[in-house]
Structure 1
């Protein structure tokens, strides 16, 4: 038992110690977090969501459940997120088309990106790569441009559909090189690649993962990548600038949002969990297989990035007179 003198000494020592300020921990619901993916299961967005969702689950202490809501070029899923309760339990991993391209092509939209969505973080950017069939006989961007100028209006390029990022990449290539090539829209990138392999179309600017097996298999020839730097997954393929077509910069990017009105402390928690996932070595290796560049960054940086992309592609849409029909 402590003597009276010992008790007084301990009390005095305790009073002499500075009290640590109480830190309020932001409350987060003890419920699963839904990550809406506005594309079909098994596609690039779905794969990316599942890769980062596993680590986010650990950081949040809650399961992250991927919810596929495909349709209308991603607009169905984005609308579902925008209309969800802003409690931090719903996010969406959306991409270029539904966030900056389609809103400028549709006469009426069911959501307003700036008003209805709250940025969390930029996740990944995947460049396109210009590929041709080896049967075409061209071995460089310069040779392809020369052939197109020699045969104006005769060469064709495929895309995943009117208004898709692949369509706009092709229009950007036309604009920056001054060539006249004909757009052939498909319902997705896969059938366009099939027709390229058969020789029905002459070229495609496709996201790297879509054509990578055919490049490695020797069926398609990669001429240039539409990024500022070479793709780590294809280090021998020059950038479009290196290949003689400067300013042909085009990427399909993926970013995470929550419904507008989600409390700032919950946005911060979601952001921190997502960025922690993007720093995880296993996640980084898995995302590298998608051929992209890991981003990250603050919600404010994502907001500024989306606005810059809206300006860039809006100008191209007007110059090239891109229409959905």
Structure 2
């Protein structure tokens, strides 16, 4: 009788609500994907999945809170390359190392970045923008969703590649940055198609280039940055991670449930409409992506000579 008591005492995972942390303010690409996935994941797991936005410090506050959480599967991170790879690459004292403090569970998808401008900017192409920036060094401002974020480093790398000088204006999230960009408080933005494409289609911003390797099927007339004469091609990614030392059984349960959700036609459709390319992986495959991305972004940060406190 005593031998089976511990087994009976253990609860089946999950037995209570799960918190899915987003390290940025509501309204950005990561937040959008988190809410779409959380809704269906709750049904699949039979427990509430609550999205918790913990913004600040370029995503470090939210990410670090998950790294410090109990490795029991009840506090997860909808993470992106921005806070997990780029931020540690540019920080003089990195707040964490992704593969040492997190357990990758499942990649969710990839998203393209684009360079956009407020309509008041007298440039309709990347080359015209470069000429304008060189004529007025330090005057053209660009928004990012935080110091050390992906779009901060994209702006720095763009300047490095083109010999221009732009003014970086950091925000706590994409939504706030986009609002000021539309209002003309800042003039340029390197952000995801998820956030920017609706504003471009609505005539509130103008698109200058995609930062992906190829043109987008839903925007075939928009050239890539490489086609525009600047050798810069990259994409963003996001996925679910748990604190390090989370049980392999829990990781496998979550991976299976997330991939089942991502395989739903309705989920694929709504994510696609918002600019995401759905990706389904094993935890090992997601780990390898983070490993490769860490190496590549560290090289970009070094080339652009970007380091922040």
Q: Same fold (TM over 0.5)?
A: yes
| Partner in structure 2 of residue 306 of structure 1 | 290
Matches within 5 A, 1:77-92: 77-92=62-77
After TM superposition, the score normalised by the length of structure 2 is 0.84
Choose which of 243, 246, 249 in structure 2 pairs with 1:259: 243
1:194 shift after superposition: 5.1
1:185 shift after superposition: 1.8
C-alpha distance in 2, partners of 1:77/1:194? Answer: 23
Quick one: structure 1 residues 194 and 58, their matched pair in 2 at CA, closer, same or farther if it must change by over 3 Å?
closer
**1:217-260 residue CA offsets vs partner (Å, 9 max, x unmatched):** 223221211112333443432222333333x1233321111111
C-alpha distance in 2, partners of 1:236/1:143? Answer: 17
5+ long unaligned stretches in structure 2:
1-10
Query: Aligned to 1:46, what secondary structure does the other structure show?
Result: helix
Does the Cα contact within 8 Å between 2:25 and 2:175 map onto a contact in 1? no
- The worse-fitting range, judged by mean Cα deviation, of 33-42 and 260-269 is 33-42
C-alpha distance in 2, partners of 1:191/1:54? Answer: 25
Query: Aligned to 1:231, what secondary structure does the other structure show?
Result: coil
1:115 shift after superposition: 1.7
Query: Aligned to 2:279, what secondary structure does the other structure show?
Result: strand
Does the Cα contact within 8 Å between 1:97 and 1:164 map onto a contact in 2? yes
**1:84-108 residue CA offsets vs partner (Å, 9 max, x unmatched):** 2222232211122221122233344
| Partner in structure 2 of residue 93 of structure 1 | 78
CA radius of gyration, larger in: 1
Quick one: structure 1 residues 185 and 324, their matched pair in 2 at CA, closer, same or farther if it must change by over 3 Å?
farther
After TM superposition, the score normalised by the length of structure 1 is 0.80
**1:48-80 residue CA offsets vs partner (Å, 9 max, x unmatched):** 112111222232233322233222222222122
Does the Cα contact within 8 Å between 1:148 and 1:179 map onto a contact in 2? no
RMSD, aligned α-carbons: 2.6
5+ long unaligned stretches in structure 1:
1-25
Does the Cα contact within 8 Å between 2:23 and 2:54 map onto a contact in 1? yes
Query: Aligned to 1:243, what secondary structure does the other structure show?
Result: coil
Choose which of 277, 283, 287 in structure 1 pairs with 2:261: 277
